């Protein structure tokens, strides 16, 4: 047992007769580690991209609600009356009337 640990620490298993099998296993583990690291980096990129897009959606949604509230304020009758008074126009005292056109058939 003690000699096996010394052999592993010295690296004699890499230069012995059956070293080819050990090297294949080490290369296989190294390949798996590289694939795992690449997969992890890819997942992290996707997580960061999702977070960035969520922030962008929140910002755009906020702009939308702000624009919609300003539009609602601009469409209010009191605001329209105020703007028209500044331009010299006032409300009509007579209500609008419907004009009915009869077809000439």
User: Quick check: is 105 in a domain?
Assistant: no
Alpha-helical segments (H) within 11-100: 19-75, 77-86
Residue span of the structural domain in which 58 resides: 2-86
Q: In this structure, is residue 100 part of a structural domain? A: no
Taking residue 95's Cβ as centre, other Cβ atoms within 10 Å add up to 5
Q: Is residue 38 part of a domain?
A: yes
**How do residues 54-79 score in pLDDT, each as one tens digit?**
999 999 999 999 999 999 999 998 89
Q: What is the pLDDT of residues 13-48, one digit of tens each?
A: 777 777 777 788 889 999 999 999 999 999 999 999
Which pLDDT belongs to residue 36? 98
Domain count, the chain: 1
In a domain, 93, yes or no: no
């Amino acid at each position: 047992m003690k000699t096996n640990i010394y052999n592993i620490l010295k690296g004699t298993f890499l230069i012995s007769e059956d070293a080819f099998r050990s090297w294949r296993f080490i290369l296989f583990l190294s390949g798996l580690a590289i694939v795992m690291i690449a997969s992890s980096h890819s997942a992290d990129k996707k997580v960061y991209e999702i977070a960035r897009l969520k922030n962008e959606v929140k910002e755009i949604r906020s702009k939308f609600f702000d624009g919609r509230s300003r539009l609602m304020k601009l469409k209010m009758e009191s605001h329209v009356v105020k703007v028209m008074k500044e331009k010299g126009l006032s409300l009509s005292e007579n209500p609008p009337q419907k004009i009915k056109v009869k077809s000439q058939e």
